[in-house]
Each structure stands twice: as C-alpha cells, then as structure tokens.
C-alpha cells in the first residue's frame, strides 16, 4: 500500500505504480465509466486519473470532487487529491459501503454534502459501479425522483450486478419503494422507518455473481 506523498518525483513514481498495478487503475486508463446524474450539477465515474480529472474539470466546469471510497492509503487517492488541489477543486471524502446496507447516518451526511456543495461536482468510487450508483440514486431521490429512477443508476451498464453482495444497494431502493414511496418524503423515511439491520439480515447474494464481482473484477 502506498503510504508516501507525491511531492517528489520518486514519490510520484511509486504512487503511479501502486495506482496502476495494485489499485487496478491500468484498466481505468481506457475505461472511465462516466455519466451525468443531474446534468450541470452532479456527475459520476470510476476513480479518475489526474489527466482524466483535468479533462472533465475543463469540459464540465467542475468545482468539487466527492470521493466515495473515503480517505485511503493508496496511490490513486494520493494522485487524485493532488490533482484536485492543483485544479482548485474542493475535495470531499464521503465513504459508502458497497456490500452492506447503507448506513442511515451516512445517507444523511451525503444529503448535507449534496445540499451544500459547490456545483458542478464529480463523485467517484473505485470502479464507478456500486457506491457511485448508490450515491447517484440517492441524489435523484434528493431531487424528488422515484425509486425506479434511483435503481437505473445501479445497472450492468456501469458494471453493477444485482445478484452479487452489492445487490443489497438495489434492495435498499426497493425497500423504500415498498415501504415509503408515495407515503412520505424520502429523508423522512430514512430518519423514521428505514431499518438497515433488518435489510442487511434479509438480503442474500448469489454464488456466480459473487464470484464475478469479488474474484474476477476484484471490487472493493
């Protein structure tokens, strides 16, 4: 794990090696998984390389980067933080899980970030599939969208597989559709009805999808 900084040429070289070979950024150099969520306000992608972040900042006028992986000791994290600093972008850590029922306090914290952030913002996880899909779905619900709208953000188009352990994220939006949608605002449901422990206990993943996401794709 990369634990240095990128202030020296040697430190930057080590960060790139760690990013490309340990954090699998070699695949992200040719695949960006980028998509608008709320055009002009929020976009999503996998963990951007410095060059890709700069290109997206120029094209979309980005002001903020939201890191859904949270602070990490890895080359990808060090490089993207440094790139955000050089580009004058605000960098916010907002860690979500990809294999657990979303925590109530993290949903509410993300809402506070979303409401106060300087837009346009780009949010990313590692692959741009699961945590980015959850956050994108939440943002659409914050904007008054439906659970169906949110579920479209968790799609095979982004590399998300519902039958794997990450399918608990789909189950979250389905749980809202069944127990709260049309009856109360989403955030009221999160605060007063949502039971993350019950959702976690009720969800079951499937073997083949689990093998694909955990062993083949090596998702976080």
| Model confidence pLDDT, tens digit, residues 119-154 | 999 999 999 999 999 999 999 999 999 999 999 999
Distance, in Å, from the CA atom of 129 to the CA atom of 33, rounded to the nearest integer, reads 8
How far, CA to CA in Å, does 47 sit from each of 69, 189, 190? 9, 31, 28
pLDDT of residue 99: 80
Please check whether residue 203 lies inside any domain of the structure. Answer: yes
- List the domain range (segments joined by +) for residue 110: 9-216
pLDDT of residue 220: 60
Please check whether residue 187 lies inside any domain of the structure. Answer: yes
pLDDT of residue 206: 67
pLDDT tens, residue by residue, 96-127: 998 889 999 999 999 999 999 999 999 999 99
pLDDT tens, residue by residue, 156-172: 889 888 878 899 999 99
Please check whether residue 3 lies inside any domain of the structure. Answer: no
pLDDT tens, residue by residue, 184-215: 999 999 999 999 999 988 887 765 445 445 54
> Would you say 133 and 172 are in contact if contact means Cβ atoms under 8 Å apart?
no
pLDDT tens, residue by residue, 21-38: 998 999 899 888 999 999
Please check whether residue 195 lies inside any domain of the structure. Answer: yes
Confidence (pTM) = 0.90
pLDDT of residue 207: 55
pLDDT tens, residue by residue, 51-91: 999 999 999 999 999 999 999 989 999 999 999 999 999 99
Please check whether residue 56 lies inside any domain of the structure. Answer: yes
CATH number at residue 135: 3.90.190.10
Q: Which distant-in-sequence residues (6+ apart) come within 8 Å of 165 by Cβ?
A: 98, 99, 205, 210, 213, 214
Please check whether residue 35 lies inside any domain of the structure. Answer: yes
Q: Is the pLDDT reported for residue 216 higher than 60?
A: no
pLDDT of residue 211: 46
Please check whether residue 111 lies inside any domain of the structure. Answer: yes
How many domains does the structure of the chain reveal? 1
């Amino acid at each position: 794990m990369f634990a240095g900084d990128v202030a020296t040429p040697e430190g930057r070289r080590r960060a790139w090696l760690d990013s490309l070979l340990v954090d699998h950024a070699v695949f992200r150099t040719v695949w960006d998984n980028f998509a608008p969520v709320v055009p002009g306000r929020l976009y999503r992608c996998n963990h951007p390389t410095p060059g890709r972040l700069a290109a997206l900042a120029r094209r979309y006028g980005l002001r903020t980067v939201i890191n859904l992986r949270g602070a990490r000791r890895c080359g990808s994290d060090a490089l993207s933080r440094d790139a955000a600093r050089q580009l004058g972008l605000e960098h916010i850590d907002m860690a979500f899980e990809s294999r657990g029922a979303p925590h109530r306090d993290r949903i509410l914290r993300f809402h506070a970030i979303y409401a106060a952030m300087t837009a346009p913002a780009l949010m990313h996880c590692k692959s741009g599939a699961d945590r980015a899909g959850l956050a994108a779905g939440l943002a659409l619900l914050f904007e008054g969208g439906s659970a169906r709208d949110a579920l479209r953000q968790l799609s095979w188009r982004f590399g998300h597989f519902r039958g794997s352990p990450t399918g608990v994220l789909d189950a979250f939006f389905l749980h809202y559709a069944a127990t709260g949608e049309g009856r109360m605002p989403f955030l009221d449901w999160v605060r007063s009805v949502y039971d993350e422990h019950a959702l976690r206990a009720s969800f079951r993943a499937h073997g083949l999808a689990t093998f694909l996401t955990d062993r083949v794709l090596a998702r976080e």
